[in-house]
Amino acid sequence: MKILAKLDIQKIQYMNLFEKITHVKAKYCFNYDATVIFAVPKLLVTKAMGRNAENVNRLTERLNRKVKIVAVPQSTADLGRFVKVIIFPHKFKKLSLEDQQLFIFAMPREKAALIGRNKKRLQELSEVLDRFFNIKRVIIR
């Protein structure tokens, strides 16, 4: 699993705020579709979310953006769950990984939502998956 995070000042500020509110250190922070996503160790996800998602709501309020908290994937076995959490509320039928290419099979409406205007969401998802799983290309079918 290759992870070379590009941290800019804004993401560092987000991570500091996250740690201050949740008392959990985020391993990674990235954006997907106007949502700030924090990746934390699997055992600390519920602690980071807080009781009744209280910490998520606080972060959403402070950042004026949607916030998601996901578990840091350990291997490609976690790929399906990781993608599912990131792209929620959109759904896919199945995933297929072949030679550093990920095929996402989805219904026509979901395809459009996953690709986004000017392929923006597809590009963001590709960058995230490249960072965590070394997947060079994401194809939506």
Summarised one tens digit per residue, pLDDT across range 46-98 is: 999 989 989 999 999 999 999 999 998 888 788 888 889 888 888 888 888 88
Q: Is residue 1 domain-resident?
A: no
Is residue 137 helix, strand or coil?
strand
Residue 131 lies in a domain: yes
- Whether the full predicted model's pTM is greater than 0.75, yes or no, is yes
Instruction: Note the helical H segments in 6-44.
Output: 9-22
Please indicate, yes or no, if residue 4 is contained in any of the structural domains. no
Query: What value does the mean pLDDT of the chain take?
Result: 87
Residue ending a domain, among 71, 88, 105, is: 71
pLDDT at 5: 52
Residues 64 and 13 in one domain: yes
* Count of the separate structural domains present in the chain: 2
**What pLDDT was estimated at residue 99?**
84
CATH of the domain at 88: 3.30.300.20
Domain span at residue 119 reads 76-140
